[in-house]
Amino acid sequence: MAYSVVVPAGTGDVQAVTGAAELVGFSVRETTAAAATLVLRDGTSTAGALQVLMTLAAGSSQTSVLPAVVFSTGIFVDRTTGTTELVLYLD
């Protein structure tokens, strides 16, 4: 059954999901008028394998539907620059 995970606005890295997950989409918004970059990694830290890369211009947002992206260990949100809020859509 499909469900969503909300990652509140912030600049810090976040463990969004623990355990196996299948990402099928996302909505992300930059919240402070500065460019932002996020990396979704398979794992529990910045050492995890890069699975999805998001780059946003200042004040912008993006919504994407993806082919299933499988995360075996968890979804770690590595916020490399900027402030963002994020919703992950999982199946």
Taking only the tens place, the pLDDT of each residue in 31-90 is: 999 999 999 999 999 999 999 999 999 999 999 999 999 999 999 999 999 999 999 999
- The residue among 26, 22, 91 whose CA lies nearest residue 65 is 26
Strand partners, 81: 37
Instruction: Read off the pLDDT band of 21 (50, 70, 90).
Output: very high
- The residue among 89, 31, 1 whose CA lies nearest residue 40 is 89
What is the set of domains in the chain, with CATH numbers? 3-90 (2.60.120)
Question: What is the average per-residue pLDDT within 16-41?
Answer: 97
- For the question of whether the overall pTM of this predicted structure is more than 0.85, the answer is yes
pLDDT computed for residue 1 by the predictor: 74
pLDDT computed for residue 75 by the predictor: 98
DSSP, residue by residue, 34-56: S-EEEEEEESSSTTSEEEEEEEE
